[in-house]
Structure 1
Amino acid sequence: MPIRKRERKKMKNGYVYEVYINYYDNGIKNRYSKSGFRTWKDAKNHEAMIYAKLEKKGNVQKKCKKTFDQVYQEFLEIGCGNYQENTVTSTKNIYNTFLHKEIGNKLITTFNYAFLQNYFNSKSKQGLATNKNIKKAINRILDFSVKLGYIETNPINLVSVKGIDTTRNENKVISDNDFQLIIKRLSEKETFKYMTYRIALIIGYYTGLRVSEVLGLEKEDIDFQNNTISVKRKLVYKGLRKQDFYTTQQMKSKKSHAVIPLALPLKQELQKWFRINPYEKIICDENGYYINPNTMGQDIKAITNKEGIHFHFHMLRHTFSTKLVLGNVDIKTTQELMRHSNFNTTMSLYTHINDEHKQEVINEIFSK
């Protein structure tokens, strides 16, 4: 209903009335709300005035007095339904760690270019990757604010973000020798846990799947007769306890759902693993439960650090894409195998890898 009661302890009767109206502006759903009316009649009169404005202009011009904290809470209630679980969890973590205490009490209407640029300038000594994630979180909330009519535009794309770049770009691809050494060290452990880690890395190496996709695979997804793998679910784990992990078919994009080829070396490895692993989950612990990718990463890092190898799971995806590009696989096929939803992503990949390869060739020639 357009008018509803809201608890207000300071009021003599313990409540006030709020006008709450949903409307569409150029096909975009918006919401108008105003609270503080002492009587139902006052709220009804205000409602009539707003409807008159809507009929005349098609939208309502209003001065929003809500803080970033308040809009964030509304975002969690009604605005995050189209985002993946991991994205929502990431937004919550960023908000609780940084945004709530730093800018949560600021009015949403103050979030213009100057305010946001000054905010990120003050964080220039922080990690670049962290700042980029903060920018993404703010972007989601400001986009939501625009839809509700709290602000007219979202200026976040105008803002430049700086910070300390701690990534090691030179090691985004793992060499065959380093990969085989990691596999060898995992094999030497001779426990179910490390055998599981081993098969997870081998799957990532031969498919380029993301870690959440690898950990969500089940035996029914592997078709040994037609040599294919059905990628149709991923593990949801961020912000959850291990016993609460679950899989979802809501993938990163529509292109993420795909049937991809099963490479012969991977087929042989999986056939051997299926005889050892009694569970339907391909990647699981000795009791058949999902494994924590963070724990897996830490355990593998303990091994790679001893060998002096820089490694994280996503490097397997970079390695897979690099092998496709340098193997002269055509762009369309590469896009399908990488399951990129945007062709430009694949084109950027080709440009980046080829430029790096040219640099390596020049350096090799003139270092002799």
Structure 2
Amino acid sequence: MQKNKLKYQSFFFLALLMLVGCNNSDDTFMGLLYQLADVQEEKREEMFQTWLNKKEKAPIIENNKVFFIYQNVKDVSVFVSGEMNSWKPDADQMMRIIGTSYYYFEQSYPADARVEYKFVVEGEYILDPLNEQTSAGGYGSNSLILMPEYKFPAEILVNRFQNYTRIDTFVFNSNILPGERNVFIYSHPLADNNSPIIIFNDGADYLNFGLTNTVLDNLIEKDKIPACHAFFVNPGNRMKEYWLNDDYHKLLFDELIPKLKQDYKFTSDNKIFVGGVSLGGLTAYHSLKKYSSQIDGVFGQSPSFWLDSLQIIDELRDVDLDDTKLFFDYGLFEEDSYDSTVIEFFKQKSKSFQFEKYNEGHAWGNWMGHLDSALIYLLTERKGI
């Protein structure tokens, strides 16, 4: 039944092209389909392959349109799954071009979008074989599309003429949440005992996927932020600790930070900033519930505010955040049904609040590429919206 449906869709589309007409001088993907409709089926494979070989890469991007292409000599069910459809395995079905071994799917994105995706072939997720661009994350690699106006984050690149800060590793055992965890210490050479301290939840991921030590060094080198220290804290049981868990904040502010301040001879004058991604961003904001007097600013990258029906608002409703700097951002391809509620709440809570939305998804490529906005906002005198 599925195969018959695919054949019917493919035949119908090519028949429609023949009715509409063609433009043999048109070198676009749709122009190619018009031309294919005018040639015999046995010649279409070679014609399509010749056209594809002239292109630098796939998917084919024409203005704001993207044409995904997949090749398989068998009649199979193929779908495009990614950030744009919440990784649903059967939302966007590819269509086979009759007379060829190629399938395609068309979709439009903003001109500066960054999109991660995979193909789902007979139920199996695979990378796009025709696309060499990939992006790594906590759940493996995905195929990657960068639209023509996407601005590459230069701050993630290593300058071979620049010295970079060495990371120390500290093994911490808590009396509040049992089990040891690694904490990675970044201390810029120009930072002193009074310099700002940034706490990163999901510490190892921020270093491995977010390249945050490189970002910090490059921003400091260009005088975009002051020299600072950073503690990259690994979770133990991530879901338990980051799910609005007061004990995790006790670990941070009653055990870990005092211990590190003592060991590194920091003073009581250090400004403290806390942040994270997804659940790590949520728990960064949740730390304000009982420790707002110790925190100068918080950032969340795609923070999971939706958790438990916006419970975070109830948790912070009576907390004085007037002088606390707040920042969070989301991607276009993420759930945004609560955006307006959360934005309005924090606008009323703080004199210094900033919200950003990017044409990207819930992924480390997004968080890595826009971390600079959060850091510059929190660590400088910039005012929010």
TM range (shorter): under 0.3
Per the normalisation by structure 2, the TM-score is: 0.25
- Of Structure 1 and Structure 2, which has the larger fraction of its residues in helix? 1
Per the normalisation by structure 1, the TM-score is: 0.26
